[in-house]
Structures are given as C-alpha cells and as structure tokens.
C-alpha cells in the first residue's frame, strides 16, 4: 500500500540589487558599564540567515587620544590628542545588507559614543569580515585606519511541493511515476537528489518510474539546489607595483573595475603612500568577461 509522502526542498531564488549605505535608521547606543573614557570598543554583530530579515545594532566608543590606538598599533605614538574621527566607509558586508550610523563625524572632545544599524535580507551564506575605514585627525593631519568585525550568515532553507507523483496507491505491486516541478530548463546550476524510500536514489532531473512491491508506507525525499549566483569577486590583492612616488617611494593606489560595456562598476577608496601587499575587500558580483 502506498499512501503517505513527505518531501523537503532546499531552494535559493535571488533577486540581486544595489543597496545604499543608508536606510537602516534608528540604531540605539548601548555600551557596557564601566568602559574607560579613553578606549576603543565595538560590540558584536548578531548572526543572520539567508532569506530572513536581518537587523543588528552595534554600539561603539571612539578614542580621545592615540594611547588606546597604540595598544593595537605600536607604530602610532601614544599620548596625542585626537581632534576628530570620521567614519569613511563600511565594506564587505554580506550581500543584501546595508548600514546607517547615528552620526559619522565625531568631535571626540565632545562626543565619543555612537552606534550603527546593519539591516536587510542576506542573500549568500558565509563568514564575513566587515571592514570599517575611519579617518582620524591628529595635530591637523588626517590618517586613514581600518578595523574589521565578523558577521555569520547561515544557509537558508524552504519547504515546498517539488514534485508530482502519479499512481500513488494500489494493491500488490505499484509502479509510480515522478514529475519534477522545478525543472532546470536547460540552465546551469541546478542539481537534484531523490530518495524514493524503496532503497533507490537518483540525481537525475527526471527520474524513471519506481516500483513498490511490498505493502507499507514509504517516505519520499526530494531536494533541488539552485545555484545561479554567478561570480563573486571578494577581494583584490596588490602584491607589488612598478610605479612609485618620486620622493617617498610609496605608491598611491586605488582599484577600478569596468564591465565589458565600458562602464565603471567599482572604484575603491584612494590609498595614499600605500605599502604592498595591499588588500581591497570589494564583494562585487560580476558576470562573464
């Protein structure tokens, strides 16, 4: 007797689009009690899941002097007053997420505490090191610096009726036919796994009929995985350059990416007097060519 069916489906349908660096208003500044007045602090980001709306508030405290900076970067002399800190950019966010800070310019003699809200619907699972670039003004000289924090995006799952079963019951032996309701249409990136519950399995898009010759209930499991993301350029590493500044022998570097139509689709921050190797986190979807 063949009467009962369950089915599971792992399905990813992505509509990619651009998102702004603002659009996540209303973050709340929350800092732990007992933080030193002159320190560097950033709270942790929450985990997320593909396809589920994500929202996380991160509280932070900017330093008033270079002393806490020296603890992480011995090349920075301690004891110097910082006039102003500006948040320049946030990059390598999980695709689908945006950010907005309560403010981006801090006169640290007056205000050091702030927050940033990260929100959106994550598109791709993974472990992301989000990079924050800030500009600090010390003795009327601005210096760029960066730091990173992690965000974990877990895979998404969904359940749906992925197939149609014909001849689902009978007496004695039953030959059942299966129709795949999520066909590839000849496109790349589709894969399938069938477990028919009778000891047979298949990875075919359109498997043949299955015979059930023992009375009982059979659990049928079906999985379709659609991977049509294309290519994701995560980072560009400049190992060395053949052209340097005349006086300090240190190059000024930025990265530009152009598509086959001659349109510039990415331009990174201009880094003055860069030291190689230098890594740019870009997190950019690109097509063939």
Residue 11 near residue 182 (C-beta atoms within 8 A):
yes
Query: How far apart are the C-alpha atoms of 108 and 64, rounded to whole Å?
Result: 6
Whole-number pLDDT of residue 230: 66
The number of distinct structural domains making up the chain is 3
Whole-number pLDDT of residue 160: 53
Whole-number pLDDT of residue 14: 35
Q: Of 171, 197, 226, which residue sits at a domain end?
A: 226
Query: How far apart are the C-alpha atoms of 73 and 141, rounded to whole Å?
Result: 18
Flag whether 3 is in a domain: no
Whole-number pLDDT of residue 205: 92
210 and 261 housed in the same domain: no
151 and 93 housed in the same domain: yes
Flag whether 180 is in a domain: yes
Whole-number pLDDT of residue 4: 28
- Tell me the two tokens of residue 95: 């695709």
173 and 77 housed in the same domain: no
pLDDT along the chain (289 residues), means of 10: 30 34 83 94 92 94 91 85 92 91 94 95 85 89 86 67 70 78 83 89 92 83 76 83 72 84 82 81 71
Whole-number pLDDT of residue 34: 93
Paired residues of 81 in beta bridges? 65
Report the CATH number that the domain containing residue 136 is assigned in CATH: 2.60.40.10
138 and 192 housed in the same domain: no
Whole-number pLDDT of residue 158: 41
The separation between the first and the last C-alpha atoms of the chain, rounded to the nearest angstrom, is 55
Residue 124 near residue 50 (C-beta atoms within 8 A):
yes
16 and 128 housed in the same domain: yes
Flag whether 54 is in a domain: yes
Q: Of 185, 202, 226, which residue sits at a domain end?
A: 226
Paired residues of 177 in beta bridges? 166
Q: What is the pTM of this model?
A: 0.55
Q: Are strands 141-154 and 48-49 parallel, antiparallel or unpaired?
A: parallel
Which residue carries 């996380």 as its tokens? 56
Flag whether 1 is in a domain: no
Whole-number pLDDT of residue 13: 30
Which residue carries 């019951």 as its tokens? 169
Helix-, strand-, coil-residue percentages of the chain, each rounded to 5: 0, 40, 55
User: Which residue range is the domain that position 251 belongs to?
Assistant: 230-289
CA quadruple 193, 194, 198, 200: dihedral sign = negative
Flag whether 71 is in a domain: yes
């Amino acid at each position: 007797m063949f009467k009962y069916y369950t089915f599971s489906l792992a399905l990813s349908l992505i509509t990619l689009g651009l998102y702004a660096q603002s659009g996540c208003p209303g973050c709340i500044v929350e800092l732990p009690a007992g933080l030193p007045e002159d320190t560097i602090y950033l709270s942790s980001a929450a985990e997320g899941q593909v396809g589920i709306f994500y929202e996380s508030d991160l509280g932070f405290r900017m330093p008033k002097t270079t002393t806490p900076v020296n603890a992480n970067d011995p090349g920075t002399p301690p004891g110097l007053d910082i006039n102003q800190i500006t948040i320049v950019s946030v990059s390598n966010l999980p695709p689908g997420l945006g950010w907005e800070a309560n403010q981006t310019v801090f006169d640290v003699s007056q205000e050091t505490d702030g927050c940033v809200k990260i929100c959106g619907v994550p598109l791709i699972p993974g472990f992301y090191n989000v990079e924050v670039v800030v500009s600090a003004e010390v003795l009327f000289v601005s210096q760029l610096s960066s730091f990173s924090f992690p965000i974990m995006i877990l895979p998404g799952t969904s359940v749906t009726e992925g197939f149609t079963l014909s001849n689902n019951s009978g007496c004695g032996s039953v030959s059942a036919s299966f129709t795949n309701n999520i066909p590839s249409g000849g496109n790349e990136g589709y894969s399938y796994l069938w477990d028919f519950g009778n000891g047979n399995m298949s990875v075919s898009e359109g498997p043949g009929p299955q015979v059930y010759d023992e009375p009982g209930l059979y659990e049928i499991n079906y999985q379709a995985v659609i991977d049509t993301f294309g290519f994701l350029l995560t980072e560009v590493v400049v190992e060395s350059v053949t052209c340097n500044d005349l006086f300090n022998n240190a190059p000024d570097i930025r990265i530009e990416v152009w598509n086959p139509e001659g349109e510039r689709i990415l331009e990174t921050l201009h880094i003055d007097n860069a030291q190689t190797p230098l890594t740019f986190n870009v997190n950019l979807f690109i097509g063939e060519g």
